[in-house]
Amino acid sequence: MTEEFHRIRRLPPYVFAEVNKAKAGARARGEDIIDLGMGNPDSPTPPHIVRKLVETVADPRSHRYSVSRGIPGLRRALAGYYERRFGVALDPETEVIATLGSKEGLANLASAITSPGDTILVPNPSYPIHQFGFIIAGASVRSIPATPDEEMLRALDRAVRHSVPKPTALIVNFPSNPTAFVAHLDFYKELVAFARREEIWIMSDLAYCEIYFGDVPPPSILQVEGAKDIAVEFTSLSKTYSMAGWRMGFAAGNPRLIQALTRIKSYLDYGAFTPIQVAAVAALSGPQDCVAEVRHLYRERRDVLLKGLHAAGWDVPAPEGSMFAWAPIPEPFREMGSVDFSKLLLKEAGVAVAPGLGFGEYGEGFVRIGLVENTQRLRQATRAIKGFFGRHGLHSNSVGAEHVA
């Protein structure tokens, strides 16, 4: 009775726990901690979305059970978004399902399609659910490079030739959490051709598609001809509309994968609260000025953060998208590792970041910095970091770092 449960044994210790414990302790002592470690949007949900929620929740009929795959109007709204944004036609009945955030959809689809011992290809570093959803389901995970380029494609080819059993599914996530890389359509074309040839499912996490800093919006893998033969894509309202706590996401694409997710969810939940789904329709189909405003907000924060870090002597590459900067640990601190560096930064600068090790072993040597505070607090954070470096005898001409972009 004292032995650990089987599926829990497959999960490693929570890497972020040590930093979270130190952060909680500092706050309990009354210290001012600038928390850049969580990917938790701090902006309010746009007012027209909130008004629709309030209006709908006042109707007692909306208090009953919903349906796990989402109300028809919401699935139509998501299909309409894909048509406008990507030029992709989706059948709301067979190619779209609502999820309780993209994380829940990813985990439940992993459970639906995985047999014990399956091999799954996952970028490393990547968002933890990408690998642990499949590990919980009984699969083995093989790491591949996280960059959307020839290096990843070569690694995929090697994985297919040298994995036993042959991989059954592949995860991709661009714009990426945590690395902030953005993929281009030509890369997706090669990826789809590979997956169709090798008969491998693709699960694309597109949660950050509206937070980008270049001139070209990130594409959807479903824009590629034939992608729906093998791919399903997850999106979320969390970052685009500052609706993280509302837990509203979607899966779209291959009908067989959508049906598998629909079936397993029918056993597990009754769907999101109906007023939240109605408000999500207002988000997708209503005025979109708020999306551009969110994008501008994160761009401004990115620029302030990078300017301050560079002034402090921390050479952090500019993220192409997402709400994060993926920062190589300065060379003098590199040997202590990302967890101890994060704890030291918290202790001496009052700034919390996420240790790269929490995103996979190849995240070691980096920390993830979230753009989740206003510009004033970000300037305060970079001044504190500059002071921290200075106390260790490090200045702008003595702190080195490698670019990852």
99 and 216 in a single domain? The answer is: yes
Q: Which residue has the tokens 């902006």?
A: 43
CA distances from residue 184 to 44, 147, 217, 236 in whole angstroms, order as listed: 31, 11, 9, 20
Q: What is the pLDDT along the chain (405 residues), one digit of tens a residue?
A: 667 787 888 787 778 888 888 889 999 999 999 999 988 899 999 999 999 999 999 999 999 999 899 999 999 999 999 999 999 999 999 999 999 999 999 999 999 999 999 999 999 999 999 999 999 999 999 999 999 999 999 999 999 999 989 999 999 999 999 999 999 999 999 999 999 999 999 999 999 999 999 999 999 999 999 999 999 999 999 999 999 999 999 999 999 999 999 999 999 999 999 999 999 999 999 999 999 999 999 999 999 999 999 999 999 999 999 999 999 999 999 999 999 999 999 999 999 999 999 999 999 999 999 999 999 999 999 999 999 999 987 776 544 444 333
Q: Are 262 and 97 in contact (CB under 8 A)?
A: yes
Q: CB-side exposure of 98: number of CA atoms within 13 Å?
A: 30
Look at residue 11 in the predicted model and tell me its pLDDT.
80
273 and 325 in a single domain? The answer is: no
90 and 178 in a single domain? The answer is: yes
Q: Does residue 222 sit within a domain? A: yes
Q: Does residue 23 sit within a domain? A: yes
Residue 335 sits in which domain range? 6-44+289-391
Among candidate residues 258, 287, 316, the one where a domain is terminated: 287
100 and 173 in a single domain? The answer is: yes
In total, how many domains does the chain have? Answer: 2
Task: Give the C-alpha separation, 76 to 70, whole Å.
Answer: 10
Q: Does residue 18 sit within a domain? A: yes
List of residues 6+ apart from 261 with CB closer than 8 A: 97, 99, 105, 108, 109, 112, 232, 251
51 and 118 in a single domain? The answer is: yes
Q: Does residue 293 sit within a domain? A: yes
Look at residue 321 in the predicted model and tell me its pLDDT.
96
Q: Does residue 403 sit within a domain? A: no
267 and 337 in a single domain? The answer is: no
Q: Does residue 405 sit within a domain? A: no
370 and 323 in a single domain? The answer is: yes
Sheet of 354-355, strand order: 324-328, 366-370, 354-355
| DSSP line for 288-353 | -HHHHHHHHHHHHHHHHHHHHHHHHT--PPPPSBSSEEEEEPPGGGGGGHHHHHHHHHHHHH-EE-
33 and 108 in a single domain? The answer is: no
Q: Does residue 334 sit within a domain? A: yes
Q: Does residue 263 sit within a domain? A: yes
Among candidate residues 260, 287, 314, the one where a domain is terminated: 287
317 and 179 in a single domain? The answer is: no
Q: CATH number for the domain including 337?
A: 3.90.1150.10
Task: Give the C-alpha separation, 256 to 259, whole Å.
Answer: 5
367 and 380 in a single domain? The answer is: yes
Among candidate residues 271, 287, 303, the one where a domain is terminated: 287
232 and 375 in a single domain? The answer is: no
125 and 191 in a single domain? The answer is: yes
